[in-house]
Amino acid sequence: MSTRRRVVVTGVGAVTPLATGIKPSWDRLLKGESGIGPITRFDATGFKTRIAAEVKDFVAEDFMEKKRARRTDLFIHYALAATSMAIEDARLVVDQHNAERIGVVYGTCIGGMTTYEKNLAAFQEGGADKISPFFITGFIPNMALAEIAIAYGLKGPAQCVITACATGGNAIGDAFRSIQYGEADVMVSGGSEAYILPVGVAGLSRMGALSCRNDEPAKASRPFDTDRDGFVLGEGAGTLILEELEHALKRGAPIYGEVLGYATNVDGFHITEADSGNQARCVRLALADGGIEPEQVDYINAHGTSTPSNDVSETAALKLVFGDHARKLAISSNKSMMGHLLAGAGAVEAIFTLMAIRESVVPPTINLENPDPECDLDYVPNVARPMNVDVAVSESFGFGGSNAVVVVGKYRG
């Protein structure tokens, strides 16, 4: 532990179904407002699920030049916008002297499916000559990372993470490691997704993963509630600027909190069902990585998807890790208001976990009206709770059994 460098978060940015920007998104989150509504992106008539958590009133050209916006996919737009806000928030200036020490780890589950669908339709209608020359560079998953690096001239360590719904957490964790072990001084990290498309909604619906509460979209995502019937598909992006502590202090950067520990593992169990025992092991490993005892944790930002089995598994995992202390934890699910942002979820939720530490208030889990008897912990039902948060855990669990757990804490000099 003594050889590891301390890592803090100095900037954040997000595009969410609640708002563009952290402050307006956070304000709505604390008020318990939902960003879920009827699908407007396409005609969902005849679909079993006709609701989603869409990003509203987003203008790509507010964050990038028109030429870049035209040639890039929507998931890249969200990533660039979130990163622009985060870099400005961190007051980070990239130049020839530091570019090689600033890297980027960014992820997506799906990549540029908006671009893919558009070009597939053009090909089917008019043949090969109708394919855009920017099809491949708009579609492949690492292009959000690439466009971020190009926009700011970043030349440090880089990788694209794809671990389903654990992607955002893994991106933060991998960036954390790069700084801890001296590969970089600053890392841009996060995840982005734009998958509210006919094929996306249809595919997830056929799996039985999505809520069908079409007549009450604001009540459709209800983690840990008896009447939950699936998650709500969302979209958006979150970016965090991770920085080595002394580097941040030297330049007078703002500090949201400290990244204390991280762990990742895979269940090796099932493509969609979770293994609570292995999820618990991932949490234990992350706490141990940060030298944190379970009793020191105040708040859990739960994965909390609102799916029948996974909410039960997550609750069971928390009981295995925390024992009697599990009933003293404040636990909440941001997905009750934002839906599931897939790769963006872990990043945005980690930001909100840091906001809970910084602002001393925990966001609620809305729509928790009839708690599932198997989900019997304190999920901060329906109303935000003022409380001191010194140490918190952000959990991200993905299809295929991918798990990522990030432990963050209040920065203490």
Q: Is residue 282 part of a domain?
A: yes
- Condensed to tens digits (0 to 9), the pLDDT of residues 297-313 reads 999 999 999 999 999 99
What's the rounded Cα separation, in Å, for the pair 270 and 400?
A: 6
> Is the pLDDT assigned to residue 154 strictly greater than 80?
yes
Reported as a single tens digit per residue, the pLDDT across 94-124 is 999 999 999 999 999 999 999 999 999 999 9
201 and 265 fall within a common domain = no
Our count of domains for the chain comes to: 2
- Considering the candidates 109, 160, 282, 340, report the single residue annotated as catalytic: 340
| pLDDT value of residue 143 | 97
408 domain residue, yes or no: no
Note whether residue 395 is domain-resident: yes
- Whether 109 is catalytic: no
Q: Please give the DSSP secondary-structure letter assigned to residue 7.
A: E
pLDDT in tens, 264-294: 999 999 988 889 999 999 999 999 999 999 9
Confidence of residue 61 (pLDDT cuts 50, 70, 90): very high
Q: Is 212 a catalytic residue?
A: no
Query: Token match 């339709």: residue?
Result: 121
Exactly one of 247, 282, 303, 375 is catalytic; name it.
Answer: 303
Read off the pLDDT of each residue in 52-77 and give the average, rounded to a whole number. 97
Instruction: Assess if residue 138 is contained within a domain.
Output: yes
Same structural domain, 33 and 116? yes
- In which domain, by residue range, is 19 found? 7-250
The reply to whether 214 and 125 lie within a common domain is yes
Contact 320, 294 (CB under 8 A): no
Does 139 have pLDDT greater than 60? yes
Q: Are residues 41 and 136 in the same domain?
A: yes
pLDDT over 90 (residue 323): yes
Same domain, 239 and 136: yes
- 303 is known as an active-site residue: yes
- Looking at the fold, whether 102 and 239 belong to one and the same domain comes out as yes
Are 29 and 257 a contacting pair, CB within 8 Å?
Answer: no
Among the listed residues 77, 109, 160, 165, the single catalytic one is 165
- Tell whether 242 and 124 lie within a shared domain: yes
In the chain, the amino acid numbered 375 is C
Regarding whether 392 and 333 lie in a shared domain, the answer is: yes
Q: What percent of the chain has pLDDT over 90?
A: 98
Q: What is the mean pLDDT of residues 235-240?
A: 98
d(CA 23, CA 8): 20
Answer whether residue 90 is part of any domain.
Answer: yes
232, 170: one domain: yes
Is residue 294 situated within a structural domain?
yes
Buried/exposed code over 78-117 (b: 16+ C-beta within 10 A; e: otherwise): bbbbbbbbbbebbebebeeebeebbbbbbbbbbbbbbbbb
Query: Degrees (nearest 5) of the Cα angle 341, 346, 349?
Result: 90
Domain end residue (candidates: 185, 220, 250): 250
Which of 199, 222, 250 is the C-terminal boundary of a domain? 250
- CATH (domain of 394): 3.40.47.10
Given a cut of 60, whether residue 2 has pLDDT beyond it is no
234 and 268 in a single domain? The answer is no
Of 250, 268, 303, the residue that ends a domain is 250
**Does the structure show a pLDDT above 60 at 402?**
yes
Would residue 166 count as lying in a domain? yes
Does residue 320 sit within a domain? yes
Q: What is the pTM of this model?
A: 0.97
Would you tell me how many other CB atoms lie within 10 Å of the CB of residue 160? 19
Residue 367 sits in the same domain as residue 392? yes
233 and 279, same domain (yes or no): no
Task: Encode burial over 236-251: b for 16+ CB neighbours within 10 A, e otherwise.
Answer: bbbbbbbbbbebbeee
Q: What's the confidence (pLDDT) of residue 1?
A: 42
Side-chain-facing half-sphere of 400: CA atoms under 13 Å? 10
- Residue 339: DSSP 8-state: -
